[in-house]
Amino acid sequence: MRWGWFLLLLGPSVLTLLLLVAIWGLSLGQLEQERQLALGAARQQNETLAHIVAANLEQVLTRPHLYADRAAELLDQGPGAGVALRAALAGDGAYLRLAVLNGAGRVQFASSPLAQGLAHQELPPAGSDLGLGQPSGRGEEAWLLPLALALRSPAGREGQLVMLLDLGYFLRLYQGAGLGARHIGIFRQGGTRLVEADDLSISLGGPAAGETEAQLRVSKSLARFPLVVEISQSQASVLQGLAPSRQRHLLWAWGLTLLLLAAGTALTLLARRQRALYRRVLCSETEKESLIQQLETEKGQAYQLASHDHLTGLPNRMLFSELSASHLSGSRRGRHLHALVFLDLDHFKAVNDQLGHRIGDQLLQTVAQRLRAVLRDSDLVSRQGGDEFVLLINELASAEDAARVAAKIIQAVGAPCQLEGHELVVRPSLGLALAPRDGQDLNTLMAHADAAMYAAKSAGRGTFRFFDGALNGIPVRQDELARDLEPALEAGGLQLHYQLQHSLDDLQPMGLEALVRWPHPGHGLIYPKDILPLARELGLLPRLDRWVLAEVCRLLGQWRAEGRHLLPIAINLAPETLADPAFPAAVQEQLARQGLSAALLGLEIPADWLPGADPGALERLQALAHLGVSLRVDGFGRSQTGFQQLRALPLKWLKVEPSCIGEGEGGKGAGGTAGFIITLAHVQGFRVLVTGVETPEQLVQLKASGADGAQGYHLQRPLPAGEVVALLERRLGVHGRD
Amino acid sequence: MGRICCLLLAFLLLGGCASVGAQCENPARLRFSLVPQGDAGRDLSAYRPLVAAIEARLGKPVELLQPQSYGSVVEGLAASTIDFAVLGPASYLKARGANPEVQVFASYAKRAGPFQEQGPYYRALLVVPAASRHRSLESLQGGTLALTDPGSTSGAVLPRRVFPALTGRSLDGFFGRIVYVGDHDRAGLAVAAGKVDAAFLSGFHLSELVRQGRIEADSVRVLWRSEPIPQDAIVYRGRLCAPIREGIRAVFLARDGQAFPGLLEQQGSLAFVPMEDGAYRILRELQ
């Protein structure tokens, strides 16, 4: 294109130039040809003229020879004999006077009295050839040219004939002869000018008139006399006749030149204008495109802003609605299922409250990343606000697949994460609604999934539920765990971790709580909140509790055997265990087997079991208390259990969670409430152990409110037995074994 | 070739019958010529009625000789090959000097013109083209000067004589180039056309050019003018027999010199007037 424009711009100029060169070349060529023709013609004319003038001059100069015979006779005769000579001279326009001089130089004959003077004036040397003198150039005889010719009379006398040639004769001859601008010069052979004549005048001798122009010269030598006739003419005068033709030619050439220049300029301007227009159009196109681009970018950004959650970058509710609508419309046609999943983080609020919104935000981002990572690209993930996420899992073959994905999500999201030095474990609760069986439009599905999510929450959190209750039996992970739990229990696949319980008086360890852990080969470490419901479902709780009892006693026995400092270890008892009439005996047996003091064993009873406990159970508790085992109520405040019921029991310790004594709300009011519960507990004769202490602030507040003991991640996370031994060695080593 | 034949014929005719006359000459035919002023042929034709009157009166043929120059007329008179003629004043003096029998008997009374006063006198003028830059003699130095004929009184003889007195230098030394144009008409035309820087010529002839409409009076500028000079001399040879001289004189001066109005008109004259040699004394004194 660039070259195209270049040619378009240059083309007219080059074309114009070529045409101009052609026009001027032809014009000037023709003019030059005409000029040469004219000069040639003039040269030829001048040559002819030179021939004529030379012939005429020769004729005039031959005349003295005609006079000579008669003049020679006069040398032998008297003066009277010259009458005929005089008469002949009178009719001769060229010669003015003549004299015949004898050998002594005296005048033998004079054509007139004036001719007498010829004897006295300077004369050219006379010979057989005519001697040519020089015009005087002065006075009345200025243009008279003396000529001399030697004479020999028939009698042998010598003398000379002297004649004066009237150059006025030449003037008359050439004046008005149409010489035009020509000059006729008569020169001696040596180059001296004798006379010059033109159409107007003659001039004598001397230098020629100043010639400033180029001259056209033609010369012709006389055959018999030493004279040269030269015709000169200025070239300008020759070419003058060509002027009109030349002017006409030049006029045409200039006319064409101007026309061509105008046309060339017009074309060039047109091309330039076209190019300018083209460029402008191009420019505006580019501008337009860039504007469109900008608009699109801005639109994209605006859309991104409007459609995405700024914190996690996930689609928001609006975009999710749009996107899911098209997927869901596909679900009506296809055979596949779509699962709409409502996901809510359990206790997220506590994270925000306790660790700050920054950590909370980071947690949400982590959750978003994990969700995105665990799902396929074709699945949709959105954040609806707060800690609520809605997912649409597409193209599922069956409800089992949906359950498997849900389990995967729970596992992925529930994995511990490190945020600014905090290890957080947040478990999600999921509610699933399947399209098209649970509904075909988004609103319906959302409502159903939401309901399912609440079901999951009330089922103990950290799990998922289908809207359709019939499907809830199929969770795969649960299946696998259920399948594996009993064998694990049998094969010793479970472990116990121990968490220290501190006295708030001196922050010294005052006991341990045994917590069951299940390192599942397929699902990682399983915690009590998963194990216990499963064990309950499977009816394994009594066996589990007995295993725990045995394990704790074995450990205590081992420690005692190793001579270590012994701390009481508490175990949690399920209501089913407490319902077993043989349990107190089993405790006694285990203690006895290891030779342990009953005081080293703590039994924690769930608070929500107490109201419905049968009288037999209470008796069994009494029996256990009687053994000397330390009984405690776990989860006080979470159930309907009041102090009145507790007073009937042989209890010393109440275990409460910070949220249950209001501490979790934070602030002074909360501290006040906590203080109130603790004070009530103390009044009733109970000691209070607060579990789940995760921040130093909580600890300070609990201590200020008079709690007796504390347990929690902040103080020490649960550790395997070996590590706890090492820890206790360090913590208690200073104080010795007392 | 024809010219040469004529010459030879003249030898044959004249050679035998030429004789030296006694006291007065009575030639069988008279020969008349005049100095060239403009178109010599036209001038001669204008004289034809007058010449015819002379032929009638004298019963002799009169031959009109076409002159080549002033000198040829002077030479003819000096050699007695011309019997009566019209001469310029200087030519008259020259001819009379060579041949004392030459006698002036009449002249013209010229009519007045832009450069001419009425009467038998005229002036020599130095004129330049009106458009030229020359306003004084001095600025003309080195220029081209046109003279008429070396024998012309106002067109060459008088200027050569008075110029040294005017400028302190000779004419030839003062001007860069001198050309001869042959007669007054050409001199006037050449100046008016700017072909030469300046020209000496007769005021009478310049006036005639204006009268004839050949130039405009304001096309030339006069830088110098001479004292009045007597008009052309009409002469005859004194050796001619008295009846012949009387006859010629009578025809010229008949009817108070106004017998040939056509000729006079052509000559720019009012009349032929009697003239004597004494009138040319002023020129003679200059020589």
Residues B175 and B254 in one domain: no
Residue B12 lies in a domain: no
Q: How confident is the model at residue B9 (pLDDT cuts 50, 70, 90)?
A: very low
Mean pLDDT across A686-712: 84
| Element housing A698 (H / E) | helix A696-704
pLDDT in the model for residue B7: 45
pLDDT beyond 70 at A584: yes
Q: Which residues contact B79 (CB under 8 A, 6 or more apart)?
A: A86, A89, A90, A97, A111, A112, A113, A114, A115, B99
Query: Tens digits of per-residue pLDDT, B63-115?
Result: 988 887 888 889 889 888 899 999 999 999 999 988 899 999 999 999 999 99
Residues B183 and B277 in one domain: no
Could you tell me if B84 and B248 are in contact, meaning their C-beta atoms sit under 8 angstroms apart? yes
Query: Tens digits of per-residue pLDDT, B21-43?
Result: 457 899 999 999 988 777 767 78
pLDDT beyond 90 at B199: yes
CB pairs under 8 A between A and B: 148
* From A87, A92, A141, residue closest to B150, measured CB to CB: A141
Residues B128 and B162 in one domain: yes
Note whether B181 contacts A: Cβ–Cβ < 8 A: yes
Residues B93 and B141 in one domain: no
Note whether B90 contacts A: Cβ–Cβ < 8 A: yes
- The CA distance from A199 to A197, in Å, is 7
Residues B141 and B218 in one domain: yes
- Best probe of the A interface among B5, B8, B11, B170, by most A CBs < 10 A, is B11
pLDDT in the model for residue A477: 67
Across chain A, what does the average pLDDT equal? 84
Partner-chain contact B99 A113, CB within 8 Å: yes
Residues B242 and B212 in one domain: no
Residues B138 and B192 in one domain: yes
Note whether A309 contacts B: Cβ–Cβ < 8 A: no
Could you tell me if B55 and B202 are in contact, meaning their C-beta atoms sit under 8 angstroms apart? no
Note whether B4 contacts A: Cβ–Cβ < 8 A: yes
Residues 96-115 of chain B whose Cβ lies under 8 A from any Cβ of chain A: 98-99
| Cβ contacts of B157 on chain A, cutoff 8 Å | 139-140
- The CA distance from A587 to A594, in Å, is 11
Residues B186 and B271 in one domain: no
Residue B81 lies in a domain: yes
Residue B257 lies in a domain: yes
Mean pLDDT across B180-206: 93
Residue B58 lies in a domain: yes
Residues B129 and B186 in one domain: yes
| Cβ contacts of B179 on chain A, cutoff 8 Å | 200-203
Note whether B165 contacts A: Cβ–Cβ < 8 A: no
Q: How confident is the model at residue A192 (pLDDT cuts 50, 70, 90)?
A: confident
- The CA distance from A85 to B160, in Å, is 34
Q: In what order do the strands lie in the sheet with A144-152?
A: A107-110, A95-102, A158-166, A144-152, A131-132
Residue of chain A whose Cα is closest to the Cα of B13 = A84
Q: Domain boundary at B210, B226, B242, which?
A: B226
The pairing of strands B144-147 and B84-87 is: unpaired
| Closest-CA distance of chain A to residue B248, Å | 22
DSSP A653: E
Partner-chain contact B14 A84, CB within 8 Å: yes
Query: Tens digits of per-residue pLDDT, A161-184?
Result: 999 998 888 888 887 777 888 888
Residue of chain A whose Cα is closest to the Cα of B170 = A138
pLDDT in the model for residue A79: 63
Partner-chain contact B75 A112, CB within 8 Å: yes
- The CA distance from B143 to B127, in Å, is 13
Q: How confident is the model at residue A735 (pLDDT cuts 50, 70, 90)?
A: very low
Residues B34 and B165 in one domain: no
Phi-psi region of B144 (alpha: psi -120 to 50; beta: other; left: phi over 0): beta
Partner-chain contact B18 A84, CB within 8 Å: yes
Residues B132 and B104 in one domain: no
DSSP A315: B
Residue B13 lies in a domain: no
Structural domain total, chain B: 2
pLDDT beyond 90 at A118: no
Q: Domain boundary at B203, B226, B249, which?
A: B226
Note whether A497 contacts B: Cβ–Cβ < 8 A: no
Across chain B, what does the average pLDDT equal? 87
What is the domain extent for residue B163?
A: 124-226
Could you tell me if A146 and A64 are in contact, meaning their C-beta atoms sit under 8 angstroms apart? no
Residue of chain A whose Cα is closest to the Cα of B189 = A200
Residue B238 lies in a domain: yes
For the full predicted model, state whether its pTM sits above 0.90.
no
| Closest-CA distance of chain B to residue A138, Å | 8
| Cβ contacts of A112 on chain B, cutoff 8 Å | 75, 78-80, 98-99
Q: Which residues contact A181 (CB under 8 A, 6 or more apart)?
A: A198, A199, A233, A234, A237, A238, A240
B/e letters for A654-678, b = 16+ CB within 10 Å, e = fewer, are: bbbbbebbbbbebeeebbebbbebb
Note whether A448 contacts B: Cβ–Cβ < 8 A: no
Residues B130 and B221 in one domain: yes
| Cβ contacts of B99 on chain A, cutoff 8 Å | 112-113
Mind giving me the DSSP string for A220-269?
Answer: EE-SSSSEEEEEEEEHHHHHHTTHHHHHHHHHHHHHHHHHHHHHHHHHHH
Partner-chain contact B149 A113, CB within 8 Å: no
- Best probe of the A interface among B70, B154, B180, by most A CBs < 10 A, is B180
Looking up residue B144, the CATH number of its domain turns out to be 3.40.190.10
- The CA distance from A600 to A570, in Å, is 8
Residue of chain A whose Cα is closest to the Cα of B188 = A200
Q: How confident is the model at residue B239 (pLDDT cuts 50, 70, 90)?
A: very high
Q: How confident is the model at residue B172 (pLDDT cuts 50, 70, 90)?
A: confident
| Cβ contacts of A114 on chain B, cutoff 8 Å | 74-75, 78-79, 94, 98
- The CA distance from A197 to A181, in Å, is 11
- The CA distance from A169 to B72, in Å, is 10
B/e letters for A590-614, b = 16+ CB within 10 Å, e = fewer, are: bbeebebebebbbbbbbbbbbeebe
pLDDT in the model for residue A51: 92
pLDDT in the model for residue A211: 60
**Residue B234 in 3-state DSSP?**
strand
Q: Which of A145, A197, A131 is nearest to A170 (CA)?
A: A197
Partner-chain contact A140 B177, CB within 8 Å: no
Could you tell me if A600 and A569 are in contact, meaning their C-beta atoms sit under 8 angstroms apart? yes
Mean pLDDT across A618-635: 86
Partner-chain contact B98 A112, CB within 8 Å: yes
- Best probe of the A interface among B68, B145, B172, by most A CBs < 10 A, is B68
Note whether B28 contacts A: Cβ–Cβ < 8 A: no
Q: How many CB atoms lie within 10 A of CB A431?
A: 26
Residue B6 lies in a domain: no
pLDDT beyond 50 at A574: yes
Note whether B72 contacts A: Cβ–Cβ < 8 A: yes
Mean pLDDT across A68-88: 81
Query: Tens digits of per-residue pLDDT, A256-308?
Result: 899 988 988 888 888 888 889 998 999 999 999 999 999 898 888 887 778 88
Residue B153 lies in a domain: yes
| Closest-CA distance of chain B to residue A260, Å | 43
Task: For chain A, report the end-to-end CA distance as a whole number of angstroms.
Answer: 101
